Amino acid sequence: MKITWLGHSAFRIEAGDARILIDPFLTGSPSWGKGWEEAAEGATHVLLTHGHNDHVGDTVAIHEKTGAMVVGNFELCMFLVGQGVDANKINPGNAGGTVDCGGFTVTFVQALHSSSFAGEGGQNTYLGNPLGLVLHFPGDRTLYHMGDTDIFSDMALINELHEPKIGLVPVGDRFTMGGAVAALACRRFFTFDAVVPCHFGTFPMLDQSAQTFVAGMEGSGVEVKTPRVGEAFDL
């Protein structure tokens, strides 16, 4: 499985024939600093954890260019249909449900956060519940993108039900759990083989590095892959 961090919570996942973008906040992202076209080349799916602008990002433009399937909670998917996404190319669900994406499945799980899209004039459109995404690939390790979240004890159930081996973990504090709490979550509730920190360094309000998380994972036996923006790696 090839993974590329695109800054903030955005990732490109290449597994089998799937070319998956998760939370593709690219245009306007201080971490990415360039257009979305290169990162979206050949995209087959766009997966969204929740409706905040810095996660929905370039979804509509990417869909219009590539025809990628858009996967997310029901309210968010229907909102995006109103923004121009083809109604035949959405794959909505909600917490506890699983959708077949052709070659892999996505199970929606809880996340402790909020979900809205900020429009002109400061008006917020509320877009259902925030979610984490568990991706099951045949013959490959299961990947869990936690979305934006704090720690919660039912993470233990997510591990029991799905046994994810790769975790994409928010560590930037203020809007999600910080590095020390994120490390506690990974160590207490999961049996990960590898974890990748994200949601840090994008804006001044966030922790500027993942060092606190990395320090908290020392001695855990879990591989910690601190990514560089735009550099692909295999897990």
DSSP 97: -
φ and ψ at 136, to 5 degrees? -105, 125
Q: What is the pLDDT of residues 188-220, one digit of tens each?
A: 999 999 999 999 999 999 999 999 999 999 999
Amino acid 69: pLDDT = 98
Alpha carbons 180 and 41: distance in angstroms, whole number: 35
Alpha carbons 146 and 132: distance in angstroms, whole number: 4
Q: End-to-end alpha-carbon separation of the chain, Å? A: 6
Task: List domains and CATH numbers for the chain.
Answer: 2-225 (3.60.15.10)
Amino acid 140: pLDDT = 78
Helix (H) or strand (E) holding 158: helix 155-162
What is the chain's pLDDT, residue by residue, as a tens digit (235 residues)? 999 999 999 999 999 999 999 999 999 999 998 999 999 999 999 999 999 999 999 999 999 999 999 999 999 999 999 999 999 999 999 999 999 999 999 999 999 999 999 998 889 999 999 999 999 999 878 999 999 999 999 999 999 999 999 999 999 999 999 999 999 999 999 999 999 999 999 999 999 999 999 999 999 999 999 999 999 999 9
Helix (H) or strand (E) holding 129: none
Amino acid 211: pLDDT = 98
Q: Are 45 and 39 in contact (CB under 8 A)?
A: no
